[in-house]
Amino acid sequence: MEALDYRSLGLRVGLEIHQQLNTKHKLFCECPTSMRDESPHYEVQRKLRPTQSELGEIDIAAQFEFKKGKWFIYEGYEDSVCLVELDEEPPHPLNQEALDVALQVALMLNMTPVDEVHVMRKIVIDGSNTCGFQRTARVAMNGWIDDEEGRVRILTLSLEEDAARKIIEDDKSIRYRLDRLGIPLIEIATGPDIHSPEQAKRVALRIGQLLRATRKVKRGIGTIRQDLNISISGGARIEVKGVQELDLIPKVIEYEVQRQLNLLKIRDELIRRGVSDFEENYYDVTDIFMNTQSRVIKRAISSGGTVFASVLPGFAGLVGMQIQPGRRFGTELAERAIVESGVGGIFHTDEMPAYGISKEEVEQLKRKVGAKELDCIVFVAADKDKALSALKAVIARAKEALKGVPNETRAANPDGTTRYMRPMPGAARMYPETDVPPTVISPDRIEKLRATLPELPEQKVARFIKDLGLPEDLAKLMVRSVYL
């Protein structure tokens, strides 16, 4: 793909950087902040449900997770996991060591600390927290860092508890380990002031260097995670979760821009074809595939399943269109169906005949559902309820394509592409934590912390050049080294 002019495209990127702190205790109890490799001592099993906010609303993302109906299995250790992590005891007072580190980082980011730190509850019912919410506290606001492409605002810095560690997941349950739950975590959110993929990497590196300068942060894979909020003109804000490698940030942004541009092309082509809306439609087409050579469909039917199909009017050729490297619009339809219904995948006529499905079966399918030349047919082989649920998700996603790019939360893949996770959460997920008293931040405390701020990375570079006689490139390399 040719080089893109990101500023003319209206690219806006905001970073959310999550960094584990290397404190003696967890954020709301006296358990250690170490991860365990040995076999757990016990496990408990739970289910979670969404609750209303103070305004009587239920968050859309929480409702989405609840509909999956999964059990959560939690593994613990008798000597390093307590009743707080199991949600059998109220949280203890806020860890003041962690708060001091957060305040120091805020000062290095030119931020204004709050007068009082109030803990909030953020509803999260994907099982990653036993109580169904994550505790988070705003510590500072309105800072900035300078970059060669311009100043980037630092909107907020929060102190929160890390989530439980996911071990394995299947159709019915998710297994978590509680050693990570409650480890103090700093969340730093920038403004949407980043306008190129490389700038995003530089800003993330700069913030990471300031965090490491405290010598109070954990190191290694999984201890720092970057979420990216990405949009372009005419597109939508997409939150990409879980970018762990610094070098992957530019690629994720590049591929998300490609994705949004291609989704806008699909929208424009649908408009050109006169598609503005269509009715939901579901057809039982099991009889067409009774003698199919498709192993997937044959296995589904032999186990008592069915084959249901839906017509997407005007979508022919667009479902098979590539929107990211190795990913087509049909991939997005399939992911929505898989996440929301639990099916193994979908078929569509843009890729037929294939997978053991013959040309004759495709023609019969088109005749039975009355498909026209520019229509695409999507079909699913599963038990009836799952198949209909999958097609309902496909149709909902296809209707979103008529408007362009839907707001959603996506997960980063190792190659920089992304996959669907869940709808974008709303404001209904936050409400006050009543078990943890507020902490007053006195001016004296701030001044003491300001007087003991660590040496900044650029100060280290200058000192290495002056005192050690190192060339500039070697001095910068040392400052970036894990052995510093």
Instruction: Provide the pLDDT for residue 55.
Output: 65
The mean of the pLDDT values for the chain is 93
pLDDT tens digits, one per residue of 337-364:
999 898 999 999 999 999 999 999 999 9
Q: What is the gyration radius of the CA atoms in the chain, in angstroms?
A: 25
Do residues 24 and 213 make contact, with C-beta atoms less than 8 angstroms apart? no
pLDDT tens digits, one per residue of 56-69:
777 676 677 777 77
Instruction: Provide the pLDDT for residue 425.
Output: 73
Residue among 189, 258, 254, 211 at smallest CA distance from 14:
189
Q: CA angle 295-296-301, nearest 5°?
A: 95
Q: Rounded CA gap, 11 and 233, in Å?
A: 7
Instruction: Provide the pLDDT for residue 2.
Output: 62
Do residues 11 and 165 make contact, with C-beta atoms less than 8 angstroms apart? no
Instruction: Provide the pLDDT for residue 10.
Output: 97
Instruction: Provide the pLDDT for residue 50.
Output: 75
Instruction: Provide the pLDDT for residue 7.
Output: 93
Q: Rounded CA gap, 31 and 367, in Å?
A: 65
Q: Rounded CA gap, 379 and 394, in Å?
A: 10
Domains of the chain with CATH codes: 12-268+425-432 (no CATH), 275-406 (3.30.1360.30)
Do residues 182 and 163 make contact, with C-beta atoms less than 8 angstroms apart? no
Predicted structure pTM score? 0.91
Q: Rounded CA gap, 383 and 11, in Å?
A: 43
Instruction: Provide the pLDDT for residue 172.
Output: 86
Q: Which residues of 308-332 are buried (b: 16+ CB within 10 A; e: fewer)?
A: bbbbbbbbbebbbbebbeebbbbbb
H-helix or E-strand containing 126? none
Mapped onto helix, strand or coil, the DSSP state of residue 204 is helix
Do residues 65 and 116 make contact, with C-beta atoms less than 8 angstroms apart? no
Residues of the chain with pLDDT under 70: 1-2, 52-55, 59, 61-62, 426-428
